């Protein structure tokens, strides 16, 4: 990941303003510690903090077209850049670098503003056309990479990878919506990403396990595009284990990835004796990865909370719980010289993997809920995965959120995603079944059919208990009782939520900042639908996966007594 900052239409064009832009850009240096760059043109500034993954030697940003009339600053990876580059060369475009992101400048020059859908990758970028001083900004379809947009009192327009770079200088700012483009020529935001599933019409494509498996393997393979050492995050659950299994199996096919050794590096973190550590160790042994098992204590996690909230820029309880161990793990990963990791985010949203999906009444409601979950990923899991790793200059790539794979998975008749224990179908059964190969197994069956743990639970149950206890020592009953007066918007309903909110407000006190965080009580965004499907959820104020009433582990098996069972 990199850090970008762009400002257009500044009244002040003095050297002092340039220095201020550089100062603000430095707030993003954790995202890109390898190099810094800035381009100034009249009242426009494009700054960049680079994390060098592809073409470390010549790919410094901002990037340009041939005559430097088009300037672009990009955060992300363009996985199909070689195909696009060849297409552009046929039209006489000449490239200055080997960077995957340089194609953006040339695509704009060739096709104008409507080129964004040609990109296959994760990205946020800002582009300036100096010929008419127009500019555009765009974000990938899911929102894997973050971006914020703000407005200054002087009429200036700002863009940045993280809120901290613009919150002091903008009167108002928002999270830039995924799948959108902002055009100074046309004015305002418009959606460029319109995949078939976005309308939420119920799809009818029959389930074909081979098609699904091959689509995912292609997704993993394209994310092995790297010129630096890399690894995989491995919790031992289904999603990360499949990413590791496919990457390990195809490592030798990727010249750039293979140069770093034939043995894949895997990383896991947890409290001593946690479920994830044991499961990940077993998967790593099976796959033959070079495994790095990292432990932390509850106190170490608590000590990091303020820094975590500063970096991830949210007060959402579930996100903070899961971000803290990921933040600690990323620091260790960086210390080992690794700059890029593959991660398993997105599968639960696409396939209905959360435990409350057991209560989905029909395929229509299940599909609509998966669509809603994917659309909200940029507020939760994508935000966590990106900012927790970027805090230490590590890039997280997410194969499940490949745009082609999402289109394949979301086009399947959702009847196949319905959880039917009497037919041996648990959550994400179609994904498990697609990789259930007896001849050449990807994973052992008991791993392939392991039931879901939320990341914050899997690192050790005492982690959440420790957080609650810590918050209770800092938030009194009277403080919580008066929470609606102190925090009238998105009022916290638990002491833990109140504690996180108070830290967030210390770093980001503006009303615009608090409005970038999803609304409602401090429970998981799934709760509204979970309550609709099963009223028992209304009694649960805790977003932990283990609180999935009557669903998880022993409780579920008691409920399902007498029905056919399968390994979990």
Is 170 considered catalytic here? no
Mean pLDDT of 56-74: 93
- pLDDT-derived band at 475, boundaries 50, 70, 90: very high
Residue found by looking up tokens 């552009």 in the block: 88
For 191-209, what is the mean pLDDT? 94
- Given 3.60.20.10, 3.20.20.80, 1.10.357.10, 3.40.640.10, which CATH number is that of 3-194? 3.60.20.10
Mean pLDDT of 306-311: 98
Rounded CA gap, 108 and 128, in Å? 10
Cα 480 to chain center, whole Å?
31
Model pLDDT for residues 35-55, shown as the tens digit of each residue: 999 999 999 999 999 999 998
Query: How far is 147 from 178, CA to CA, in rounded Å?
Result: 9
Task: Report how far apart the first and last C-alpha atoms of the chain are (Å, whole number).
Answer: 35
Which band of pLDDT confidence, cut at 50, 70 and 90, is reported for residue 210? very high
Instruction: Break the chain into its structural domains and give their ranges.
Output: 3-194, 199-456+474-559
Task: At 406, list the tokens.
Answer: 């999402």
Range of weakest confidence among 100-109, 361-370, 372-381, 535-544: 535-544
Q: Which fold has domain 199-456+474-559?
A: Rossmann fold (3.40.50)
214-228, 297-311, 546-560: segment of lowest average pLDDT: 546-560
* Chain-centroid distance, C-alpha 61: 23
For 140-185, the pLDDT digits (tens) are: 999 999 999 999 999 999 999 999 999 999 999 999 999 999 999 9
Residue 302 has pLDDT above 80, yes or no: yes
Residue bearing tokens 């009433």:
549
Longest dimension (CA), the chain: 76
**Distance in angstroms (rounded) separating the CA atoms of residues 50 and 124:** 13
Please report, rounded to a whole number, the percentage of residues in the chain having pLDDT higher than 90: 81
Angle at 247 between CA 241 and CA 248, to 5 degrees: 85
Sequence-distant (6+) residues with CB within 8 A of 280 are: 234, 235, 236, 240, 266, 268, 291, 293
Q: Using a pLDDT cut of 70, give the percent of the chain over it.
A: 90
pLDDT of residue 522: 39
Query: What's the pLDDT score for residue 561?
Result: 34
Phi and psi torsions of 84, nearest 5°: -65, -40
- pLDDT tens for each residue of 262-271: 789 999 999 9
Exposed (0-12), middle (13-18) or buried (19+): which is 561, by Cβ within 10 Å? exposed
* Contacts for 152 with CB less than 8 Å, ≥ 6 apart: 7, 10, 158, 169, 170, 171
Does residue 221 register a pLDDT over 70?
yes
Indicate the DSSP class of residue 346. Answer: T
pTM over 0.85: yes
Q: For residue 457, name the pLDDT band (cuts at 50, 70, 90).
A: low
Total residues found in the chain within this entry = 568
The secondary element (H helix, E strand) that includes residue 191 is strand 189-191
The pLDDT, as a whole number, for residue 57 is: 86
Sequence-ordered alpha helix ranges (H) in 90-140: 103-111
- Tell me what pLDDT residue 209 has: 98
- In the numeric block, the tokens 């946020």 are attached to 124
Which pLDDT band, with edges at 50, 70 and 90, does 565 fall under? very low
> What pLDDT does 424 receive?
87
Binding residue positions? 100, 233, 269, 343-344
Using the predicted structure, report yes or no on whether residue 258 has a pLDDT greater than 80.
Answer: no
8 has which bridge partners? 44, 157
- The pLDDT confidence band at residue 257, using thresholds 50, 70 and 90, is low
Closest listed residue to residue 238, CA positions, set 421, 435, 461, 414:
435
**pLDDT for residue 251:** 85
With beta carbons less than 8 A apart as the criterion, state whether 269 and 322 touch: no
In three-state secondary structure terms, 76 is strand
422 CB burial (10 A radius; 0-12, 13-18, 19+): exposed
Q: How many CB atoms lie within 10 A of CB 402?
A: 26
User: Rounded mean pLDDT of the chain?
Assistant: 91
Residues that constitute the known binding site for ATP: 233, 269, 343-344
Annotated binding site for L-glutamine: 100
- Say what the pLDDT of residue 544 is: 52
- How many Cβ atoms from other residues are within 10 Å of residue 262's Cβ? 9
Kindly state the DSSP code that residue 389 receives in the 8-state scheme: H
What are the distances in angstroms from CA 360 to CA 381, 427, 452, 536? 22, 11, 17, 14
Closest residue by Cα to residue 289 from 328, 325, 338, 330:
338
- Residues 160 and 76: beta-carbon distance below 8 Å: no
Residue 523, CA distances (Å) to 483, 532, 539, 540 in order: 16, 15, 12, 9
Mean pLDDT of 317-333: 97
Helices (H) then strands (E): counts for the chain = 24, 17
CA distance 550 to 375: 27
3-state helix, strand, coil in the chain (%, to 5): 45, 15, 40
Active-site option among 2, 10, 101, 371: 2
């Amino acid at each position: 990941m990199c850090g970008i900052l762009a400002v257009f239409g500044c009244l002040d064009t003095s050297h002092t303003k340039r220095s201020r832009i550089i100062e603000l850009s430095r707030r993003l240096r954790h995202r890109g510690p390898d190099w810094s760059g800035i381009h100034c043109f009249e009242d426009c500034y494009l700054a960049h903090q680079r994390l060098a993954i592809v073409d470390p030697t010549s790919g410094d940003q901002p990037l340009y077209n041939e005559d430097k009339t088009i300037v672009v600053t990009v955060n992300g990876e363009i996985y199909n850049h070689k195909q696009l580059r060849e297409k552009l060369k046929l039209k006489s475009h000449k490239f200055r670098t080997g960077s995957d992101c340089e194609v953006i400048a040339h695509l704009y020059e060739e096709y104008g503003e409507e080129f964004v859908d040609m990109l296959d990758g994760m990205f946020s970028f800002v582009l300036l056309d100096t010929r008419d001083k127009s500019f555009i900004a765009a974000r990938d379809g899911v929102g894997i990479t973050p971006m914020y947009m703000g407005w200054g009192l002087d009429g200036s327009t700002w863009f940045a990878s993280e809120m901290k770079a613009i919150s002091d200088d903008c009167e108002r700012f928002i999270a830039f919506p995924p799948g959108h483009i902002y055009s100074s020529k046309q004015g305002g935001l418009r959606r460029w990403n319109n995949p078939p599933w976005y309308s939420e019409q119920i799809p009818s494509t029959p389930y074909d396990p081979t098609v699904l498996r091959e689509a995912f393997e292609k997704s993993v393979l394209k994310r092995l595009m790297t010129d630096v050492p890399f690894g995989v995050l491995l919790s031992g659950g289904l999603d990360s284990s499949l990413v590791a299994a496919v990457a390990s199996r195809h490592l030798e096919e990727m010249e750039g990835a293979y140069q770093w050794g034939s043995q894949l590096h895997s990383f896991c973190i947890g409290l001593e004796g946690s479920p994830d550590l044991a499961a990940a160790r077993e998967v790593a042994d099976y796959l033959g990865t070079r495994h790095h098992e990292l432990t932390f204590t509850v106190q170490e996690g608590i000590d990091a909370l303020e820094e975590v909230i500063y970096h991830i820029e949210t007060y959402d309880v579930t996100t903070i719980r899961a971000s803290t161990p990921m933040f600690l793990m990323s620091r260790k990963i960086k210390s080992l010289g690794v700059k890029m990791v593959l991660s398993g985010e997105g599968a639960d949203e696409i396939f209905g993997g959360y435990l409350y999906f057991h209560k989905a009444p029909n395929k229509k409601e299940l599909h609509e809920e998966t669509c809603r979950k994917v659309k909200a990923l940029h507020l939760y899991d994508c935000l966590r995965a990106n900012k927790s790793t970027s805090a230490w200059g590590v890039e997280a790539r997410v194969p499940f959120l490949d745009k082609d794979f999402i289109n394949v998975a979301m086009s399947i008749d959702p009847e196949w995603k319905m959880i039917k224990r009497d037919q041996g179908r648990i959550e994400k059964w179609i994904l498990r079944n697609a990789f259930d190969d007896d001849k050449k197994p990807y994973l052992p069956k008991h791993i392939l059919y392991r039931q879901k743990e939320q990341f914050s639970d899997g690192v050790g149950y005492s982690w959440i208990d420790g957080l609650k206890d810590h918050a209770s020592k800092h938030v009194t009953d009277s403080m919580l009782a008066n929470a609606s007066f102190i925090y009238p918007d998105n009022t916290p309903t638990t002491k833990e939520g109140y504690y996180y909110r108070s830290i967030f407000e210390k770093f980001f006190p503006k009303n615009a900042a608090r409005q970038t965080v999803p609304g409602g009580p401090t429970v998981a965004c799934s709760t509204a639908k979970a309550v609709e499907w099963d009223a028992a959820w209304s009694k649960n104020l805790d977003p932990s996966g283990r609180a999935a009433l009557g669903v998880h582990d022993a409780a579920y098996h008691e409920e399902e007594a007498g029905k056919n069972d399968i390994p979990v």
